Amino acid sequence: MSKAFTRETDGDEDDEEASLPPLPGGGKNYMTPAGYARLRAELLQLMDDERPKVVEAVHWAAKNGDRSENGDYIYGKKRLREIDRRIRFLTKRLEIAEVADPAVHHGSDQVFFGATVTYAEESGVERTVTILGIDEADSTQQQVSWISPIARAMLKAREGDVVKLVTPLGAQDIEILKVDYPPPGRTR
């Protein structure tokens, strides 16, 4: 069979989608305005800047003869598949995005999406986390996804409440010490 009629794949077609946590039932993809803007900027940068450059490089490399041993062509085609996969992923996520501005809760002592919460564990250790969307949370920045166990335990609790956090190591009580939201007009 001619190679022109076969699908080129590395077997990692849905790796990116598989590596991120799935959306909970109902498919809501909550995001802050800043998170939505970052994903949209990445999508536009891929479509308007990076993809055209790679297409041009692949076109140039294809004119250089034997494609089976042409590293520029092979790498370019692989990079093009990666870009297209990311574009599809971002497009799907942005289509179902539910933008929720945490600033509307500024001054509230109840935990909702977008809150920065300081809590104390049973051991007395205090931690602070910000509850964000699945696609924008970064654990290295003390950010957690709204579907994470810690966020689910804290959602709708108020300052001073003690909630039960269930982890693989067992359940523990945590006390909500402080709830903070960005002021209106300021994003995180």
Same domain, 118 and 168: yes
d(CA 105, CA 113): 9
pTM, 2 dp: 0.77
115 exposure class (CB count in 10 Å sphere: 0-12, 13-18, 19+)? buried
Let me know if residue 187 belongs to a domain: no
pLDDT in tens, the chain (188 residues): 445 544 454 444 445 454 555 666 566 789 999 999 999 999 999 999 999 999 998 888 888 777 777 788 889 999 999 999 999 999 999 999 999 999 999 888 999 999 999 999 999 999 999 999 999 999 999 999 999 999 999 999 999 999 999 988 889 999 999 999 998 876 55
How much is the pLDDT for 133?
93
Q: What is the pLDDT of residue 23?
A: 65
Query: Is residue 25 classed exposed, middle or buried when 0-12, 13-18 and 19+ CB atoms within 10 A define those classes?
Result: exposed
Q: Which of 99, 118, 142 is the last residue of a domain?
A: 99
Same domain, 91 and 37: yes
The CA-atom distances, in angstroms, between 102 and each of 51, 134, 161 are 34, 15, 20
Beta bridge partners of 166: 171
Parent domain of 142: 102-180
Regarding whether 93 and 136 lie in a shared domain, the answer is no
Choose the final residue of a domain: 72, 99, 126: 99
> Cα separation of 186 and 38, whole Å?
15
